[in-house]
Amino acid sequence: MDFTPAIVAFCCENSAYRAADTAGARQEGYPSNISICRLPCSGKLEVIHILKAFEEGADGVFVFACHPDSCRFLLGNVRAGKRIEHTAALLEKIGIEKERLRFFYLSELEWTQFLDLVRQGNESIKSLGPSPIKVKP
């Protein structure tokens, strides 16, 4: 059976959210199973938000932050990066592959990169199969 993963993409509203908008407006199409969650800054993203996404049945979580030195709030992106590292370690401990959590730098103009990243990301999550949380023992 063809498996369609559920993916949550946390996007900073200053960069990746705009990039996703542009990608949409260009009508190039990207996997519709990616749900975008808008954040004021990637620095707002907390560990619990990512864990909750997995708990709610996400097979993958992508986090998009602004490039280093271009965060409108200085170091929000760096903070996000550190939290992702920490969360990845937590996921490993509870038996979720850390590859299900991906972190990318993206600017508002890089809409083609956004398309590439979500398409490739979708494929890689697909190859991982459903999240272990969803698979009943």
H-assigned helices in the chain: 16-25, 47-55, 76-93, 111-128
Residue 96 per-residue DSSP state: -
CB 20 within 8 A of CB 116: no
Q: Tell me the closest approach of the beta carbon of residue 34 to other proteins, in angstroms.
A: 8
Closer Cβ to other proteins, 56 or 99, answer by number: 56
Q: Does 46 bind other proteins (CB under 8 A)?
A: yes
CA dihedral 21, 47, 97, 77 (to 10 degrees): 50
Q: Tell me the closest approach of the beta carbon of residue 45 to other proteins, in angstroms.
A: 7
What is the separation of C-alpha 1 from the centre of its chain, rounded to a whole number of angstroms? 25
Q: Tell me the closest approach of the beta carbon of residue 61 to other proteins, in angstroms.
A: 9
Q: Does 105 bind other proteins (CB under 8 A)?
A: yes
**Contact positions with other proteins (CB under 8 A) in 68-97:** 68-76, 79, 83
> How many residues touch other proteins (CB under 8 A)?
55
Q: Which of residues 2, 3, 16, 27 is near other proteins by CB under 8 A?
A: 27
What is the separation of C-alpha 26 from the centre of its chain, rounded to a whole number of angstroms? 21
